[in-house]
Amino acid sequence: MKRISEFEVFVPAEVGMKVDATLFISDKIRLEEDALNQLKDACKIPTVKKVLATPDIHIGYGVPIGCVVAAEEVIIPAAVGYDINCGMRVLKTNLYAGDIETAELAKSIRRDIPLGEGKENIRLTREEFECVLEEGVKGLYKIRRKDHFVWDFLEKEDIKNVLPLIEDCGSMKGDASAVSARAKERGQNQLGTLGGGNHFIEIQEVVSVKDKKTAGEWGIFEGQMLIMIHSGSRGLGHQIGEDYMSLAKSKNYGEPHPSRELCYIPLNEKEGEEYVKAMHSGANSAFANRHIMSLLVKKNLLFYYPNAEINLLYDVPHNIAKLEEHFGKKMWVHRKGATRAFPGKRMVQTIFEKTGQPVLIPGSMGSFSYLLVGKNENEKSLCSTNHGAGRRMSRTQAAGKIRHRDGKVLKEGAISDEEFRKSMEGITLICENKHTIKEEAPQAYKDIDEVIRVVEGANLAAVVAKMRPLAVLKG
DNA sequence: ATGTGC
């Protein structure tokens, strides 16, 4: 390994690696040895073209979270991850956060959005759900029901104005026939649910605007109340990941796979094509899930503030693979815990042509979040940046008691209740599971300000505005 | 991440 600059480390190809790797990381950020090994494994995929890590890198399944893997001719389910199209969405309002009873609003939102694992909300028929799997948010608009107010909200929305505010217009080329019945069963009634783990809904205040011009174009101002949503494809995406990762493992596709966890599928095989269709279906479901949640948030805001305006700023996936052209070559760019950060020149004929795409980066619960924009100089990261702060402690390390088989507690979590309480002072916290919430403590994550310093220093993206949390809803 | 695992 060789440090090239304050923000960049070069990992030369070792035996078995087809390409070098690049890490966008500073000395202040600890790099787990296993995460580096997983990154090296990704470099062993036969047709891999580029592998890089963002400063939020940490251990994942097969491939680290916080990395980009670009390859030709193969698709790599583990480089997308289990939560297909997990992503961020920001809703902007015309309100000053200081004028709003944010704790009350958060409590009210909770009544409409189930938090935590295994929850269901909007019930669909199999046919309706398949329509969402194939067309995403566009498919949602085709559903005509009357049994929930979200359908009335959808009917009133102008699809032409909404779809361009979602990456891929909230609709990838899905195919319900590539999704197992089990996956559909798990996901069919889960639209409009948050999920668990690091998923959240946060009411935030814009504390500073760094790029006034871009912020102005986007309708962002100091003191503004924003609502940030982080969620994914729930049980559906997880089952799709499981189905295709076990399929990939069971097959022998030529050269040995880099690790037991890291399998790839050639795209000239039927299974490779099928995974892409299933992945798109999972992505569509996640887009629809975040869209439904936005409407549920909107209803609650309008209940308290009938004259309020609330509009989508943007919706970005951070667990997805896409066919993109880089360095004159078309390749499958897998972003796992990484966000596309297209500059304006890659957003031609969209409303973000002038500014570049909005990049939505949450900090950990209780810390700042950031709104950024893609930079012209970020081709070296395949126009990608990080997706968040990134874990620095495992879940069990943070809060979980590591138990011996006989039930005796061997080791207490690294974060005390007192420490946790202090880090959340002044923030309304609404959570489903008080026993696991410390897994998401700010102390369990890297320092978001340092991560963002690397992102800007390495020219991956530029800060437009910074937000602080006022109220947070968690699983 | 996940109706969270032998």
Per-residue confidence at A403, pLDDT binned at 50, 70, 90? Answer: low
- Around Cβ A120, how many Cβ atoms within 10 Å? 16
Does the active-site annotation cover A199? no
pLDDT at A24 over 90: yes
pLDDT score at A405: 53
pLDDT of A402 > 80? The answer is no
pLDDT digits (tens, 9 = 90+) for A27-40: 999 999 999 999 99
Partners of residue A208 on adjacent β-strands = A466
Q: Residue A407: is its pLDDT beyond 60?
A: no
Residue pair A110/A297 in contact by the 8 Å Cβ criterion: no
Distance of CA A179 to the CA centre of its chain: 21
**Nearest nucleotide to A232 by CA–C1' distance?**
B1
pLDDT over 70 (residue A401):
no
Q: What pLDDT, on a 0 to 100 scale, did the predictor assign at position A182?
A: 96
By percentage, how much of chain A surpasses pLDDT 70?
Answer: 97
**Under 8 Å CB-to-CB from A8, ≥6 apart: which residues?**
A22, A23, A24, A25, A458
The yes-or-no verdict on residue A408 having pLDDT over 80 is: no
The reply to whether A398 Cβ lies less than 7 angstroms from strand B is no
* Length of chain A, in residues: 475
Q: Estimate in Å the CA A290 to C1' B6 gap, whole number.
A: 36
Give chain A's largest Cα–Cα span: 63
Q: Which of residues 115-134 of A touch strand B (CB under 7 A)?
A: 117-118
Higher pLDDT, A256 or A385: A385
Q: How far is the CA of A231 from the C1' of B5 (A)?
A: 24
Q: Are A345 and A104 in contact (CB under 8 A)?
A: no
Q: Measured from the CB, is A98 under 7 Å from any atom of strand B?
A: no
Quick check: helix, strand or coil at residue A21? strand
Distance CA A50, CA A21 (A): 7
Where does A2-392+445-474 sit in CATH, by number? 3.90.1860.10
User: Structural domain boundaries of chain A?
Assistant: 2-392+445-474
Q: Strand B closer than 7 Å to the CB of A61?
A: yes
Looking at per-residue pLDDT, the higher value among A397 and A406 belongs to A397
- Sign, CA dihedral A131-A137-A143-A148, equals positive
Using C1' positions and the CA of A119, the closest nucleotide is B3
Distance A81 CA to B2 C1' (A): 12
Q: Is the pLDDT of residue A410 over 70?
A: no
Rounded Cα gap, residues A455 and A472, in angstroms:
25
pLDDT bracket for residue A400 (50, 70, 90): low
Cβ count within 10 A of residue A155: 11
Average pLDDT over residues A103-110: 98
Q: What digits encode the pLDDT tens for the residues A448-468?
A: 999 999 999 999 999 999 999
Q: Distance, angstroms, CA A222 to C1' B4?
A: 40
Half-sphere exposure of A407 (CA within 13 A, CB side): 0
> Which segments of A111-179 does DSSP mark as H helices, in order?
126-142, 149-156, 159-162
pLDDT of the residue at A229: 98
CA closest to B6 C1', residue: A405
Is the full-model pTM beyond 0.85?
yes
Q: Which amino acid is at A358?
A: P
Q: Return d(Cα A357, Cα A343) in angstroms, integer.
A: 6
Segment A48-67 shows an average pLDDT of 97
pLDDT digits (tens, 9 = 90+) for A219-245: 999 999 999 999 999 999 999 999 999
Higher per-residue pLDDT: A335 or A406: A335
